[in-house]
Structures are given as structure tokens and as C-alpha cells.
Amino acid sequence: MAEEESANRGHAHVNAVYLKLGPLAGVVKEALLSSWELACEGAGLTGARLVVEEVPILVYCPRCGESRPLPSMQWFACPECGQPVSEVLQGRELQVTALEIQE
């Protein structure tokens, strides 16, 4: 996406890419960062920084009627009342939220 955006703007230089990463995205932050430089070179984004914002898992508890942070990925239950929860509101993100572009 960053590559496209850069191309759209007449190959403006991308300084930084801001990414939201949830624990359920299936991507490890360290792996992402270590492959970043290589990916940048291939995409014409050499020198761009990758800023990863890790977001916590939020689930919806039907018993409390509230969204709750999930303390552990091994235990999908409400931390307040112990009700098993299945509705994940947040935590699957692998999403570019912003680009810092040098005009």
C-alpha cells in the first residue's frame, strides 16, 4: 500500500509507515521489522521507517455488556466475570494507519 501511495504522488519519498499490529494478526513484530528493509528495497521505499503500534486484544463480553481487554491469548474469557467470549473487537489488525511523506 505504501508503494502505491508513493507512486500515486509521483514517487514522493516515504519517510515512515505507521502500522497497527494486533496479537491475533498472525505476524510477529520482530519478523516484520527484520523483513522490512528488504521489502522496502524491492518496493522503492528504501530508507523508510516502519513504526509499529501494538494494539491489545479487546473482546466483547455478553454478560457484562462491555468490551474488555483480554489478558491472555490462551484464555478467551472475560477478565471480570469469567464468561467465555468469542467476539473479538480488536486484536487482528495488520493495518497501515498513516504514511509520512516528503513532498
Q: Where does this chain bind Zn ion (CB under 5 A)?
A: 61, 63-64, 78, 80-81, 83
Q: What does the buried/exposed string (b/e) look like for 22-44 if buried means 16 or more CB atoms within 10 Å of the residue's CB?
A: bbbbebeeeebeeebeeebeebe
Residue 8 phi/psi, 5-degree rounding, is: -60, -30
Q: Which three cell numbers stand for residue 83?
A: 464468561
CB of 70 to Zn ion, least distance (A): 11
Q: How far is the CB of 25 from Zn ion (least distance, A)?
A: 25
Output the residue with the shortest Cβ distance to Zn ion: 78
Closer to Zn ion by Cβ: residue 72 or 102: 72
Q: Minimal distance in Å, beta carbon 39 to Zn ion?
A: 40
